[in-house]
């Protein structure tokens, strides 16, 4: 049973990483200027004659920003870990009863800034 559980953890972890890379490439393809900036930064810091290493990421602020923006727009899980209300609470005029299960929508939080900026 433990072997199956470990296999599922491995598959889940690998799937989220590959999904984030796929979304990052999709967003870069949709924005050629951002793609050009990321390519320039990688070519300037890493160069064409060696492979990219983990410690190179510290010297690539634009690529880090691309990764952070990708995680904001396309979170690996749309909901955060469920929470439980410890007491009766009022949220924006709505009563949240004690022991109610609360789901936080990470996808909506990541998109809220876009909607606010677009409406200004």
Q: What is the pLDDT along the chain (120 residues), one digit of tens a residue?
A: 666 665 556 556 666 778 888 999 999 999 999 999 999 999 999 988 888 888 888 999 999 999 989 988 888 888 888 889 999 999 888 899 999 998 888 888 888 765 555 554
What is the pLDDT, as a whole number, of residue 117?
Answer: 53
Buried b (16+ CB within 10 A) or exposed e, 44-55: ebbeeeeeeeee
Phi-psi region of 72 (alpha: psi -120 to 50; beta: other; left: phi over 0): alpha
DSSP conformation class of 87:
S
- H runs (alpha helix) in the chain: 2-30, 32-45, 61-73, 106-119
What is the pLDDT, as a whole number, of residue 98?
Answer: 92
User: 0.75 exceeded by the pTM?
Assistant: no
Cα 34 to Cα 37, 72, 73, 104: the distances in Å are 5, 16, 15, 30
What is the pLDDT, as a whole number, of residue 26?
Answer: 94
For residue 95, which phi and psi values (nearest 5 degrees)?
-85, 125
What is the pLDDT, as a whole number, of residue 81?
Answer: 85
């Amino acid at each position: 049973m433990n072997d199956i559980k470990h296999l599922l953890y491995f598959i889940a972890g690998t799937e989220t990483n590959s999904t984030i890379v796929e979304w990052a490439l999709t967003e870069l393809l949709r924005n050629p200027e951002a793609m050009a900036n990321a390519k320039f930064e990688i070519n300037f810091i890493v160069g064409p004659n060696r492979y990219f290493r983990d410690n190179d990421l510290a010297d690539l602020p634009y690529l880090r920003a691309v990764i952070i923006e990708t995680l904001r727009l396309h979170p690996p899980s749309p909901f955060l870990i469920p929470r439980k209300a410890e007491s009766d609470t009022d949220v924006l005029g709505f009563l949240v009863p004690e022991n109610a299960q609360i789901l936080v929508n990470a996808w909506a939080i990541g998109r809220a800034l876009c909607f606010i900026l677009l409406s200004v």
